[in-house]
A and B are shown apart, each in its own frame.
Chain A
Amino acid sequence: MSRKAISNARGPASGSTTSAALPGLSSDDMCPVCKTIRYLNKDMEFLIHPDCYHFMCSNCVNRIFNDGPNQCPYAGCHRTLRRKGFRSPFFGDLTVEREVDIRRRVAAVFNQHEEDFKTLRDYNNYLQMVEDLTFELVSGTEAQRRSAEAQLQHWEAEHKADIERNRKAGREADEASHRRIAAEREAARQRRIDAIKEAEEEKLERARTREAELDTLASAPEGQRAGGVQLKRRVQVNRAVEAAAAANTGSGVPGAGAQPPIITKLSIQGLKEKRKPPAPEGPYDPFGGMDFVPSRYKLHDGLVHPDVDKYRFDWAHATGGYSFDDYTARAMFEAFAGLGVFIEDEKEVGIGLSASEVAAMSAGIAAVGDKMELD
């Protein structure tokens, strides 16, 4: 605490206290004027005046300055202070508080923008000059501080109109940016609300559809295809959506509302067809998918034929590994293979047509058949 030093720092300009350390808000919470400690007054509040940055408790301020301007009670500080100028400090370190105040004041005077200068170099020089001035104000010697203060005031007086204009422009720009940011924030909020609402509606819709499907299934007659019902229902829902969309878009077209909307599948032309991925190939089937399970007969056990059975105990056959089961299977296959192949029908008109049709068409077919042979 170097109160003496402070008392020396005395100037006509505001904020012209010394750069020497200002008293910090006292660690022991004692008002340096009335010596009251926090223990006695729990609501004790310290105030400062930006002229000299001497702090005292609010009681002292009220007591001393209630009857108009008075001298700072600090010893050696002869500033005349008014009660109106007292405020509670923002920073605990009053040096910082003072510097911030000074910088704020300088910035209010030197409020040029980069756009106001011809070159970047000029702007940088200007910034350098402002910083030098600020530094001199904050921590220069008495003489420096005084000259800087003079410069500042001189500049302020000279460029009053410019400063005022810049300040207004800056305020407008600030307001505009504030407005923009606020609008963006509002829009984002709105979007979020919409998304939530939509999700909820979808959930509701899904629940409704499911309910309807279950109802349909419950009331559907036996054997009806459940899958078909579901599909149909879903198609209906989709159609409803599409119809709504069509009504929205087509309302401007005259006569469009009169006729029922023709629901066509939305198609975008000119899009490249997506190539389908090749179906996964299974293991190689040498028989090309032919089925070897008999469908017309069953291979029962004990199918015997005397002509074959006599070889069963013939060493020449048994040793060679002759398979009697295979013979049986083959004989049974041959007995029933081609029973349903009707050559006359199939060779004339193709597989699967009935004989009556063939009879009806036979004359025409015969004529065609002759021609086919010739070419």
Chain B
Amino acid sequence: MATEDARYRQSSQFRLWSFSPSKLASMRETTNALARASISERLLASNSLPTSNNPSAPTSALNTPEPDGATPTPTPTLPEFLTPAEEVMLVTLYTSELLRAGEHMGLTDEITSTAAALFRRFYVTNSIMTYPPKDMIVVSLFFGCKAEGSFPSVDQFVKSLHKKGPEEILAGEFLLCQSVRFALDVKHPFRALKGATMELRRYGDIEQSRIEEAERHARDILRFSPHMTDAYFHYTPSQIMLAALSLADRGLAERLIQATFHYVAPSASNDSDTSMANSDIGSKEARREAKAGEDKAAIIGSYVRDKVLGTIEACRDMLSKELPDRKDHWSSPAVVKVQFRPTVRKLAKCHDPDRWDLVALQRRRREQVMDKADSEDGDPEARTGTAAAAKATVDSDAAVFGGALEPRDTKRRKVLDDPFGGPL
């Protein structure tokens, strides 16, 4: 096994945030189903209150009627929820907005990419109906800066994004951190691209301008395409880099792969002949050589090369669906109006009533903690109402963080075993 691969397998990106396509799809479905269940429960609970009844009452005729309408108010109906596919589409839409915001703020590629990756990771285990994506964009960008080692001031950040106050960013920070399971190191293909061009330059027989052109183009692709697709979940950075390079200049990428996986195992007959011819004593040497040859073939042999080529081809197909020239597509008002506006409207109706306001959520949690401390002091009567509400929120919190994917007890046990590494 190649030492580089062994080292990559140690990374949190591989251990926690790499999935096969089917696994990712099923995770998204599970998240969606859980979000539907918890949101409809909460909507029904708040329907009993007169204030929160109103917004759900005038929903469109598409709404499914609630089976047993116990409340006297005009037929409390559940809104239509987003499907997993729609969720993915919206996440992609907001990722494109995030990328634009990063560009607007003049953040480096690494920071913007980290923010985008964190954003997408966040919405794998959390539904976009539960937490507001627009707020999470800012949180992700701010957190991306920190994860990449640059520490801007929150006020500066707020000002450049025209937000109301730092609370909006800080409220979601721990939420994001927790949801990405504290895997803050996102491995990007940018430096890998530099390494690849260094290697290409070393070959010496390729024109500098061609390499530079390809690198610039590939970097453009890497800035945009992997984040608009699920490439970060399905491929390693080097594979994404080679796919982008191959999109920019197919010849260069193939040259690099052929040069890397150059090992050709000497044919068996040839090998035995030579060793026979050598001497009797040479047998040990020959055996060791054969062993080394096997190892080499497993690392840089033709079989691995074909497999890598296949993987890169698949990645290339994925990236080619979202090439940088589709930036305009995602941002052009006409397209947005036709394609995304209806879904966004739908989201506005079916989002989680408790979680949508991150600042309020944060404040409520703080109060809960205070309440808990107070009730331990001994005046539970004064805050019975709020305490009950708080308890409800605690349970629902549990549903989102812990119970989102599996029963809470299991989760807790697994968390005890391995705070960061349990299964999603």
Chain A contacts to B: CB under 8 angstroms: 222-226, 290-297, 300, 302-308, 328, 330-344, 347-348, 351, 354-355, 362, 365-366, 369-370, 372-375
Contacts and interface: CB of A to CB of B under 8 A. Distances in A.
Chain B, interface residues (CB within 8 Å), range: 35 or more
Contacts, number: 171
Q: Which 3 A-B pairs have the closest CB atoms?
A: A338-B236, A335-B195, A331-B195
B260 interface: yes
Contacts of B194: 305, 307-308, 331, 335
A347 B23 contact: yes
B287 interface: yes
B238 A337 contact: yes
Contact of A338 (B14, B23, B30): B14
B237 A293 contact: no
B14 A341 contact: yes
A338 B308 CA distance: 10
Nearest to B295: A295
A374 B26 CA distance: 10
Contact of A336 (B10, B195, B423): B195
A332 B199 contact: yes
Contacts of A293: 3
Contact of B23 (A333, A335, A339, A369): A369
B70 interface: no
Interface in B190-242: 191-199, 201-202, 212, 233-239, 241-242
A362 B25 CA distance: 14
Contacts of B235: 343
A164 to B, nearest CB: 87
A373 B19 contact: no
Contact of A344 (B234, B299, B304): B234
Nearest to B8: A338
Contacts of A369: 22-23, 26
B287 A223 contact: yes
Contacts of B237: 334, 337-338
B6 interface: yes
B22 A338 contact: no
B260 A355 contact: no
A297 B299 contact: no
Contacts of B260: 296-297, 336, 339
30 contacts: A223-B275, A226-B284, A294-B4, A295-B299, A296-B2, A296-B300, A303-B198, A307-B194, A328-B198, A331-B194, A331-B195, A334-B187, A335-B193, A335-B196, A337-B192, A337-B236, A338-B9, A338-B237, A339-B4, A340-B1, A341-B5, A341-B8, A342-B307, A343-B233, A347-B23, A348-B20, A348-B22, A369-B22, A369-B23, A374-B406
A26 B10 CA distance: 110
A374 to B, nearest CB: 7
B20 A333 contact: no
Interface of B: 1-10, 14, 18-23, 26-27, 30, 187, 189, 191-199, 201-202, 212, 233-239, 241-242, 260, 272, 275-276, 280, 282-284, 286-287, 299-300, 304, 307-308, 310-311, 405-406, 410, 423
A2 B304 CA distance: 124
Contact of B195 (A222, A291, A332): A332
A11 B241 CA distance: 137
A225 B291 CA distance: 13
B27 A373 contact: yes
A311 B32 CA distance: 49
B92 to A, nearest CB: 20
Contacts of B1: 340, 351
Nearest to B310: A355
B4 A338 contact: yes
Contacts of B26: 366, 369-370, 373
Contact of A340 (B275, B276, B308): B308
Nearest to B277: A222
A158 to B, nearest CB: 97
Contact of A375 (B189, B212, B410): B410
Nearest to A217: B280
Contact of B191 (A222, A297, A330, A351): A330
Nearest to B4: A337
B405 to A, nearest CB: 7
Contacts of A295: 2-4, 299-300
Contact of B283 (A223, A292, A296): A223
B191 A331 contact: yes
A221 to B, nearest CB: 8
Contacts of A375: 406, 410
Nearest to B208: A306
A375 B1 CA distance: 32
Contacts of A296: 2, 4, 260, 299-300
A366 B25 CA distance: 11
A292 B233 CA distance: 25
Contact of A339 (B5, B191, B197): B5
Contacts of A331: 191-192, 194-195, 198
A340 B2 contact: yes
A42 B264 CA distance: 107
A355 B199 contact: no
Contacts of A290: 3, 6-7, 10
A344 B24 CA distance: 11
B201 A304 contact: yes
Contacts of A333: 4, 7, 195
B199 A344 contact: no
B21 A344 contact: yes
B236 A222 contact: no
B234 to A, nearest CB: 6
A355 B310 CA distance: 10
A343 B286 CA distance: 35
B390 to A, nearest CB: 30
Q: B4, B21, B282, B299 — which one has the most chain A CB atoms within 10 A of its CB?
A: B4
Contacts of A339: 2, 4-5, 236, 238-239, 242, 260, 308
A308 B159 CA distance: 33
A224 B282 CA distance: 11
A222 B280 contact: yes
B195 A338 contact: no
A337 B8 contact: yes
A236 to B, nearest CB: 22
Nearest to B279: A222
B202 A303 contact: yes
